[in-house]
Amino acid sequence: MLPVVFSVSTVLLYLAATARLAVPIVKGVPDPRAKPQALALAALAVVLHGVVLSQAVFVPGGLNLGFFYAASLFAWVISAIVVIASLGQPLENLFFLSLPLAATSAALALAFPSSRVIALGRGFGFEIHLVLAVIAYALVSVAAVQAVVLAFQEHQLRRRRLGGAVRALPPLQTMETLLFQLIAAGFFMLTMAIVSGAMFVEDLFGQHLAHKTVLSVIAWVILGILLWGRWRFGWRGRVAIRWSLGGFFALMLAYFGSKFVLELVLKR
C-alpha cells in the first residue's frame, strides 16, 4: 500500500511543481516566489520517486529494469539533474517537459509493473558502465529538452511574439550556452559509457547488444560532430537544435527502441 501512496504522491507533486511555475506565466504576472516553491515541490517529488524506484528496481539477484521501470528510472535521473542544475543555472524552464514526463513514467510504472532482472556481480566494470550509461542518457535527454525549449523560443522571437512564456525565458544566447554545456557533459559521459561497455561485452550478438552498440556510436558521432561544428564554425540556432535532437533520438532508439521490441513486442 505504501509504494502506491508514494507513487501517487510523486505524480501529484511533479504536476503541482509544473503548475506552480506555469500559473504566473499564464496570468502574465511575475511571481518571485514561483521558482523556489516549484523547486521545493519538484525536489520532494524527486525524493519520493527515488524511494519508489529503490523498492521496485533493487530486487534480490540484481536490478529490475523492465521497460516501464527503466523509463521511470531515466525520467527520475533527468528530473534530478534538472532540479539540481536549476539551483545554479536558469534551467527551471525545463520543468515544463521534464516533470510531466517524470509524472507520466511514474504513473505507467505503477499501472504496468514489469520484470526484467539484470543480474549484478559481473564485475565492477559492468556496474560502472551501467551508472555511466544512465547518466549519459539522462544528460543527452536534458539537452534534448533544452533544444526543444530553444526551438520554441527562437520560433517565437522570429515572429516577434515576445510575451508570456518567451518573456520568462533567459536570453537566447544564454539558452544556447546552456545547451552546449549539457551536450558537452552528455558527450563526455557517453564516451566513458561506450569505452567501459567495450570492456565487458562477451557476445555482441548473443547479448542483443549489436543494434544498441551501433546506435549508441551513431549518437556519439552526431554529438561529436555538433561540438566540433560549434567550435570550428560557430554552429548555433536551428543547426544546433537539429543535431542535438538527432543525437537524442539515436540514443533513445539504442536503448528503449530495443527494449520495446524485445519486451513488449517479442515478449523476450
pLDDT, residue 206, reads 42
Cα dist from 207 to 146, 191, 201, 210, whole Å: 34, 21, 8, 8
**pLDDT tens track for 223-233:** 999 999 999 99
Alpha carbons 109 and 117: distance in angstroms, whole number: 15
**pLDDT tens track for 173-207:** 899 999 999 999 999 999 999 988 877 665 444 45
Can you count the helices (H) and strands (E) in the chain? 10, 3
Whether residue 170 is predicted with pLDDT greater than 90 in this model: the reply is no
| φ, ψ at 119 (rounded to 5°) | -70, 135
pLDDT, residue 158, reads 83
Residue 117 β-bridge partners: 64
* Residue type present at position 211: H
Q: Within 28-94, where are the H helices?
A: 34-57, 67-86
pLDDT, residue 177, reads 93
Q: Are 184 and 227 in contact (CB under 8 A)?
A: yes
Alpha carbons 219 and 68: distance in angstroms, whole number: 23
**∠ at Cα 65 (192, 115), nearest 5°?**
165
Model's pTM, two decimal places? 0.89
Q: Are 189 and 239 in contact (CB under 8 A)?
A: no
**pLDDT tens track for 215-260:** 899 999 999 999 999 999 999 889 999 999 999 999 998 878 777 7
Torsion of CA 187, 189, 194, 198, to 10 degrees: 150
Task: Return the SS3 of 119.
Answer: strand
pLDDT, residue 164, reads 64
Cα dist from 108 to 7, 32, 100, whole Å: 10, 34, 12
**pLDDT tens track for 55-98:** 999 888 778 888 899 999 999 999 999 999 999 888 888 999 99
Give the orientation angle of helix 172-198 with respect to helix 124-158, to 10 degrees.
Answer: 160
Kindly write down the DSSP assignment for every residue of 234-247, as one continuous string: ---HHHHHHHHHHH
Mean pLDDT of the chain: 87
Whether residue 123 is predicted with pLDDT greater than 70 in this model: the reply is no
Q: Are 81 and 142 in contact (CB under 8 A)?
A: yes
Closest by CA position to 45, among listed 84, 3, 9 = 9
Alpha carbons 61 and 118: distance in angstroms, whole number: 8
**∠ at Cα 141 (244, 233), nearest 5°?**
20
What percent of the chain lies above the pLDDT cut of 70? 88
Residues 6+ apart with CB under 8 A from 78: 98, 101, 102, 138, 141, 142, 145
pLDDT, residue 205, reads 41
* Residue type present at position 125: G
